[in-house]
Amino acid sequence: MENTSTSALANEPLLRIEGVSKIYDGHIKAVDQITLNVASGEIFALLGGSGCGKSTLLRMLAGFETPSQGRIYLGGTDITDLAAYQRPINMMFQSYALFPHLSVSDNIAFGLRRDGMAKEAIAERVEAMLKLVQLSQYTKRKPHQLSGGQQQRVALARSIAKQPKLLLLDEPLGALDKKLRVSTQIELVNIIKEVGVTCVLVTHDQEEAMTMATRMAVMSAGSFLQVGSPKDIYQQPNSRQVADFIGSVNIFDGLVKQSPANSAQAQCIDVECADALLRVPSNQACHVDMAVGVAIRPEKMLLSHKKPSAKINHVGGVITEMTYFGAHTNYHVKLASGKVLQVQVQSHVDEDNADLSWGDQVYASWGDNAMVLLTQ
C-alpha cells in the first residue's frame, strides 16, 4: 500500500481496516477477516452479542491487541504495529476506568500531560472540556464522589481532551440505569458532533446502536453479517440472523413457487408457506422450490376480525396472548400450523382493535413493503 497515489489519498477514508483477523491459540477466530472503511465524521457502531468479536476488534483499534492478520490504517498511515500509547486514538472505557486516585481535572489532564503540553494550555483545555460536559463545578472531586452519569461525562471529557483522530466507545452507556440511558444517548451524540470526532462504538444494545450511529455493522462469530445505516438494517435485513437480532420479527418459512415475471410494478416472488401464500416484492435471484424466509415486523401488521378480500398476504389465527403496554398492545396469534405470530398494534391508530380479545378468531394483514425476502 506504499504506492498509494495522491488522488487515492484524497479519497482515503479516515479508518481503513483491511482483512483483519485475531486468532487465539492458533485456531479460535475471535475476529475473522474484517474489512471496513469509516469516513471522517461518522459514528460507526459495532453491534453484536457477547463473544461476537466486537470488543476484540475495538481493542485492536486501540492497540491493546495485535491483529494476527491484516492491517489497520488511520488517515492513510499504517498503525497496525504501533503501541496503544503511540496512536492518535483514544477510548472511553466500559465502566469508564477513571483513575480513582486523581481528581476530575487531573483525570482529564492526564493524557495532555503525557504529550508534554504547556501547563497553561493544559489548564485551558481542561476547563474547556469541563464546560463541554457541564462539570465545571466538580473539578476537585474524586471519581467516587460523582454519580454514574457524571462519571460517564468525565470519561468522555478525558477521552476527547487529546483531540484524537478517532474516538472509541466501549459500551458507553452500559453502566447507567435504563432511565438515564436514553437522555445520555442524545447528550453523548450531541457532544461528539460538536467536537466533530470520528467515532467507533461497541454495544450489545441494538437501540443504543440505532439511536447513536450513522452507520453500523452487525457482528457474529467474528464476521460482519451486515453493514449499513440503522434504517437499512432494520428495514432490509439481509439474513435471518440480522432480522432476528435487530428488534422482534415474524419469519415465515416457505418455498419459492414461481416468479411471476412482469408483474405490475416491481418484480415479485411468490412464496408458499404453511399458513399463506405470500407475494413478496423482491429482485433477488431465486429458483423454484428454493427454501426461503419472509420477515415481517410485528408493528407493520394489522389485526382485524374481518377476513381481507385478497387471497394473498394475510393469515388467520386465534389470539392466545395479549399484553397491554399503554402506547401499544402486543398480541400473540396462533396460526393453523401452530406457529405463533407477534403483532404490535398502536393504541390510538385503530379504534377497531379495542374489542380484540383472548380466543378471538382474527386475521393479520400487511402491506407489500412490510415483507423482506431472506434467502439466508
Partner 1 sequence: MNSTALKWFGRSWMLVVYAFLFLPIFTLVAYSFNDSQLVTVWSHTSLRWYKALMQDSDLIAAVMLSLQIAFLSALVSVFFGLFSAFALNRYRRFTGRGLLSSLASTPLVMPDVIVGLSLLLMLVSVQQALGYPERGLFTILLGHALLGTAYATVVVRSRLTEMDSKLEEAAMDLGCRPWQVFSLVTLPLIMPALLSAFLLTFTLSFDDVVLSSFLSGPGYSTMPMVIFSRARLGLNPSINALATVTIVVVSIVVIATTLYSLRQERQRKRDMALAQRE
Partner 2 sequence: MASLMQTLKNSIPSWLTGRRLVIGLPYAWFLILAFLPVLIVLKISLSEMQSTAVSGMVSWQGAWPSIKLDVSSYLFLASDELYLATYLSSISYAFYTTVICLGLGYPFAYFMARAPKQWQALLVMLIMLPFWTSFLLRIYAWKTLLVNNGLINNALLAIGWIDSPIEILNTPFSLLIGMVYSYLPFMILPLYANLSKLDARYLEAAADLGCHPFKTFWLITVPLSKAGIVAGCMLVFIPAVGEYVIPELLGGPNTLMIGRVLWDEFFSNNDWPMAGAVTIVMLLLIMLPLAIYNKLQSEGRA
- Residue 119 touching partner 1 (CB under 8 A): no
Q: What is the DSSP string of 194-234?
A: HHT-EEEEEES-HHHHHHH-SEEEEEETTEEEEEE-HHHHH
The correct pick among 125, 153, 158, 314 for binding partner 1 (CB under 8 A) is 158
Q: Which 57-86 positions form the footprint of partner 1 (CB under 8 A)?
A: 62-64, 83-85
d(CA 204, CA 143): 26
Binding mask 80-99 for partner 2 (x = CB under 8 A): -xxx--x-------------
Minimum Å gap between C-beta 60 and partner 2 is: 17
Range in contact with partner 2 (rule: CB under 8 A) among 74-82, 127-135, 159-167, 337-345: 74-82
- Residue 4 touching partner 2 (CB under 8 A): no
Binding mask 21-40 for partner 1 (x = CB under 8 A): --------------------
d(CA 345, CA 281): 24
* Spatial contact of 153 and 92, defined as CB atoms under 8 Å apart: no
Q: C-alpha cell of 270?
A: 411468490
- Size of the residue set binding partner 2 (CB under 8 A): 5
Range in contact with partner 1 (rule: CB under 8 A) among 11-19, 137-145, 269-277, 313-321: 137-145
Say which entry of partner 2, partner 1, none residue 111 contacts (CB below 5 to 8 A, set by partner kind).
partner 1
* CB of 5 or CB of 309, closer to partner 2: 5
Say which entry of partner 1, partner 2, none residue 82 contacts (CB below 5 to 8 A, set by partner kind).
partner 2
Of 295, 306, 294, nearest to 350 by C-alpha is 306
> Would you call 136 helix, strand, or coil by DSSP?
helix
Q: How far apart are the first and last CA of the chain?
A: 35
- Residue 195 touching partner 1 (CB under 8 A): no
Of 195, 190, 185, 243, nearest to 218 by C-alpha is 243
Strand partners of residue 200: 44, 168
d(CA 99, CA 137): 19
d(CA 152, CA 157): 9
Grid coordinates 477521552 are at which residue? 159
Q: Which residues bind partner 2 (CB under 8 A)?
A: 77, 81-83, 86
Q: Which residues bind partner 1 (CB under 8 A)?
A: 62-64, 83-85, 89-91, 93-95, 97-101, 110-111, 114-115, 141-142, 144-148, 150, 158-159, 162
